[in-house]
Amino acid sequence: PYPTYRRLRAAGPVLWRDDVFQGAWVLTRHADIELALRDPRFSSQRTGGWVKRIPGVDASLSGRRAQAGLDLFQRLFGGAMVFLDGADHQRVRKALAAGFHPTLIRTLRADVERLTDELLDGIDAHAGFDFIAEVARPLPSRVIGVMLGIDREDEARFMAWSDDLAAFIGALQPTADQLRAAQRSLLQMVRYFDALLPARRASPGTDLVSRLLQAEAAGELRADGELLAQCAMLLFAGHETTRNLLGNGLYTLLTHPDAWARLRADEDGMTLAIRELLRYDSPVQYTGRRVATELTLHGTTLGRGDLVIALIGAANRDPERFADPDTFDITRRAGSHLSFGSGPHVCIGAGLSLLEADVVLRAVLRRWPTLRMLDAAPRWNGIAGLRGLAALPVSVS
């Protein structure tokens, strides 16, 4: 996507595109994107309306049941914290904050190391394996599974449901079929969590679902599905993104042998290297906002209700913010990427995903210093918003 971003940036800072979400403003500059993510004139409530304009959806909405199904989807999907504003957003974020406190995340390190070792122990690297299928996909899903307190045997179902949501959320122009699959899978996810609640209420644990139940009992969460909307969001957000940090990260390191060698010699450089990996090839390529109050940006008027696409992937390569932005440099310190967003919605799981990347990349580097790619041009997943590889075949020589 990066040559496209360069072209878009050259075309102007605020561009109207009909081919994105049936019509949206596209932002490419770091400063503008940071503004859109921090300024309350840009609302996070963006799920309504345009879904009905997806070609083919209107026709299928003639029946009352279909309409009710879509309304339920919109409520559950749009009820996730990432799509809330102001006081509602603060209230829900507060209910979850303790579950992501840095001290708590640090205590998870041993769990993440154990889960990583379990996965890596089962791999015969000489025979060759797909890093995405064997490591990048299952590990984050297992970690979020532990945090939510869900059974390992349910993992495959969750990943399939979540992948349907990813295909829908990450499409620049979602199809009616993608919407239907997302609708079905979100409902199944929510039913699954709903069935867990009585037991969790009876004997609460330290998991995130129990925390949300306690918040609900204290009146901090509304009892109209708000809790279930957060569970589904956490499950999805917890692994679709981290998978791509691990996959894109390893791919970038393997295609930059100098960086790989440098990290082998000095593992302490890992923290900075992961920051650069996030900047260089962000797992989340864009997010959206809706204009809450008419405003003017670089001389262009954005009308109330207009959709705005903030191209995080472009912001991270903005030459005004990063010197030599297309160069991957694991010693880069200047400039901060927007891969975790910015402002009130800044990623609550950032610490968790950094921990996972640190554990996995160190483990791979130590175990398999001679790892190499078996396919020079691996396949991408084709999801515009959630950039990641479909497969990354590797082996040790």
Q: Are 347 and 278 in contact (CB under 8 A)?
A: no
Q: Note whether 340 binds ligand HEM by CB under 6 A.
A: yes
Q: Which two tokens stand for residue 223?
A: 């009892």
- Contacts to ligand HEM from residues 266-295, by CB under 6 A: 283-284, 287
Question: Is 125 or 252 the residue whose CB approaches ligand HEM more closely?
Answer: 252
Distance between CA 77 and CA 99 in Å, rounded?
21
**Interface residue with ligand HEM, options 349, 378, 385, 388 (CB under 6 A):** 349
**Interface residue with ligand HEM, options 28, 241, 252, 381 (CB under 6 A):** 241
Give the CA dihedral 175, 177, 183, 184, nearest 10 degrees.
Answer: -160
Q: For residue 372, give the 3-state DSSP assignment.
A: strand
Give the residue from 170, 135, 113 showing the smallest Cα distance to 391: 135
By rule CB under 6 A, what count of residues binds ligand HEM? 24
Question: Is 233 or 259 the residue whose CB approaches ligand HEM more closely?
Answer: 233
Q: Which two tokens stand for residue 265?
A: 């010699």
> Quick one: which segment of 15-23, 117-125, 216-224, 234-242 binds ligand HEM (CB under 6 A)?
234-242
Q: Note whether 388 binds ligand HEM by CB under 6 A.
A: no
HSE-CB at 132 with a 13 A cutoff on CA atoms is 19
Question: Is 325 or 341 the residue whose CB approaches ligand HEM more closely?
Answer: 341
- Least Å from the CB of residue 325 to ligand HEM: 18
Would you say the C-alpha torsion 249, 255, 256, 258 has a positive or negative sign?
A: positive
- Contacts to ligand HEM from residues 81-140, by CB under 6 A: 81-82, 93
Q: Note whether 347 binds ligand HEM by CB under 6 A.
A: yes
Q: Note whether 345 binds ligand HEM by CB under 6 A.
A: yes
Question: Is 125 or 281 the residue whose CB approaches ligand HEM more closely?
Answer: 281
Q: Note whether 245 binds ligand HEM by CB under 6 A.
A: yes
Question: Is 185 or 316 the residue whose CB approaches ligand HEM more closely?
Answer: 316
Q: Note whether 355 binds ligand HEM by CB under 6 A.
A: no
Element (H, E) at 287: strand 287-291
Phi, psi angles (nearest 5°) of residue 301: -90, 125
Phi, psi angles (nearest 5°) of residue 196: -80, -25
Q: Note whether 238 binds ligand HEM by CB under 6 A.
A: yes
- Least Å from the CB of residue 5 to ligand HEM: 16
Q: Note whether 144 binds ligand HEM by CB under 6 A.
A: yes
- Least Å from the CB of residue 278 to ligand HEM: 7
Strand partners, 295: 302
Question: Is 185 or 248 the residue whose CB approaches ligand HEM more closely?
Answer: 248
Q: Are 251 and 380 in contact (CB under 8 A)?
A: no
Pairing of strands 14-17, 371-373: unpaired
Question: Is 28 or 242 the residue whose CB approaches ligand HEM more closely?
Answer: 242
- Long-range contacts, 254-259 (Cβ 8 Å, 24+): 254/371, 254/372, 254/373, 254/394, 255/373, 256/328, 259/328, 259/330
Pairing of strands 129-130, 393-396: antiparallel
Which residue sits closest to ligand HEM, CB atoms considered?
349
**Interface residue with ligand HEM, options 14, 307, 352, 383 (CB under 6 A):** 352
Q: Which single residue is written with the structure tokens 């950032």?
A: 350
Pairing of strands 14-17, 300-302: unpaired
Q: Which two tokens stand for residue 221?
A: 């969460």
Question: Is 125 or 141 the residue whose CB approaches ligand HEM more closely?
Answer: 141
Q: Which single residue is written with the structure tokens 């179902």?
A: 157
Q: Note whether 209 binds ligand HEM by CB under 6 A.
A: no
Q: Which two tokens stand for residue 245?
A: 């940090």
Q: Note whether 150 binds ligand HEM by CB under 6 A.
A: no
Q: Are 232 and 72 in contact (CB under 8 A)?
A: no
Q: Note whether 37 binds ligand HEM by CB under 6 A.
A: yes
Question: Is 238 or 325 the residue whose CB approaches ligand HEM more closely?
Answer: 238
- Least Å from the CB of residue 287 to ligand HEM: 4
Q: Note whether 234 binds ligand HEM by CB under 6 A.
A: yes
Question: Is 8 or 143 the residue whose CB approaches ligand HEM more closely?
Answer: 143
Radius of gyration of the chain (CA): 21
* Binding positions for ligand HEM, rule: CB under 6 A: 37, 81-82, 93, 144, 233-234, 237-238, 241-242, 245, 283-284, 287, 339-341, 345, 347-349, 352-353
